[in-house]
Chains A and B, each alone.
Chain A
Amino acid sequence: MSDLRQYLDRIAGPEHPPAPGTVDSDVTRGRVALRRKRQVHGLLGGALALVAVGALGVAVVTAGPPAERGGDRIEAAPSAAPATPGGTASAVDTGGASGVRLVAFAGDQPEGFTIDMVPEGWEIQSSVATTLLIAPIGLPDRNPDSFANKITVSLQDEAPGAGVPGEQVTVAGRPAALWTSEDGVRTLFVPLGDGAYLNVQLWNNLRWDTATIAEFAAGITVTDDVQRSRG
């Protein structure tokens, strides 16, 4: 065995049989996860929408430079008419620091979720039953396992505990929590009941304000096809 392989073998360490109770705990965790999954699927019964279609308040905006932080208030408007991808038939200009503009999504809906809006100039880059990736059109990084510079949507069966502080946010009338990591990655957790959470992760280069994040999340629908990313 070469030196390098010997060192890797040392890092791996010897095999230790599981401690008493460990395997039973594995079984218990599996049972709980399976029960939750079945409960969620029973709840979904086709689709679990965070917000009724058409209930999303939108404001028609004109093209131009981004507003100052805390600028235009989002006002209720008639429900969004379909737009072409990247189009401006209906949009929300949040006035955030990044001037992000949400536009109605008119492409093919992804597996596991439906979305009402996307940032202008963004697309659904990849979609599997567990995870939806939304990225700027033309982003060279198309690796479905890379979340850098992208928005990630998934269904989780856990959220940070009390030890991880988060900002309280309201999403379509639901209390939610927005957590920011040390490196600036923000993750929104929207409880859906029975231990399920809609999870929206924004990379640290996305300087959306909280209202924009909540607005975006409110347009996401979790369908019956979704699979939890954990458990």
Chain B
Amino acid sequence: MKVGRGNARDQEFHDFVSARRAGLVRTATLLTGGDAHTAEDLVQTTLTRLYVAWPSFRAARNPDGYLRRALVNCLVDEHRRPWRRAERSTAVPPETEAPVSADEPEAAGEVRRALRELPPRMRAAVVFRYFYELDIAETADALGCSTGTVKSQTARGLDRLREALDRSVSGAVI
């Protein structure tokens, strides 16, 4: 059923989500270490907050930065709520994380596992700084931390991912 969009906020928000949702899901998938279910939940939570704070978002000088920070805040909140994760586990699971397919190289599976094992903020640092190639200041803004923290978190996160990659290539038992 279509939702009536009788006010400017609804219309603007609808247009924004229509244009940006697919990219948000993709980013959220990385931020959650490849867990599609949690990524969708993260996007929904972020968008709900965005709707509530729509005037602030509209007034933001850097809307993309605002959005990234909202995503990270919701990601961290997800880890603050163990009861929510448990509740999901009791629900009928939809298609959650994409299983490692038979044709996925072993190395890809190792990177996926290593990414998921990173602490959420370290994962976010790697995703924004390395994958999306944001500069240090933009990444620091997204994470709400110092540039020094971005550097150290990104370096440590990348080290762990590369170690996983190296192990898979060398055939070592993980």
Contact = CB atoms under 8 A, between A and B. Distances in A.
Interface in B31-61: 33-34, 36, 44-45, 47-52, 54
B8 interface: no
Q: Is the interface of A mostly helix, strand, loop or mixed?
A: mixed
A28 B17 CA distance: 12
A231 B49 contact: yes
B165 interface: yes
Contacts, number: 140
Nearest to B2: A24
B30 A8 contact: yes
Nearest to B74: A230
Contact of B87 (A10, A145, A164): A164
B17 A18 contact: yes
B83 A230 contact: no
A163 B91 contact: yes
Q: Is the interface of B mostly helix, strand, loop or mixed?
A: helix
Contact of B52 (A18, A24, A30): A30
Interface in A143-186: 145, 147, 152, 158-161, 163-164, 179, 181-183, 185
Nearest to A154: B80
A11 B34 CA distance: 6
Given A147-B80, A160-B87, A26 B17 contact: yes
A27 B14 contact: yes
A63 interface: no
Nearest to B149: A143
Interface residues of B, number: 56
Interface stretch (A31-39, A69-77, A114-122): A31-39
A147 B80 CA distance: 7
Contact of B83 (A4, A23, A24, A179): A179
Contacts of A26: 13-14, 17, 21, 44, 47-48, 51
A181 B87 contact: no
Contact of B48 (A14, A161, A230): A230
Given A13-B36, A33-B51, A163-B90, 12 more contacts: A3-B107, A7-B107, A8-B111, A15-B22, A21-B1, A23-B14, A24-B14, A26-B13, A27-B13, A30-B54, A230-B45, A231-B49
28 contacts: A5-B131, A8-B115, A8-B127, A10-B108, A11-B29, A11-B30, A11-B108, A11-B112, A13-B26, A13-B29, A16-B25, A18-B21, A23-B14, A27-B10, A30-B52, A31-B10, A31-B51, A145-B144, A147-B80, A160-B84, A164-B86, A179-B83, A181-B82, A181-B83, A187-B81, A229-B77, A230-B48, A231-B52
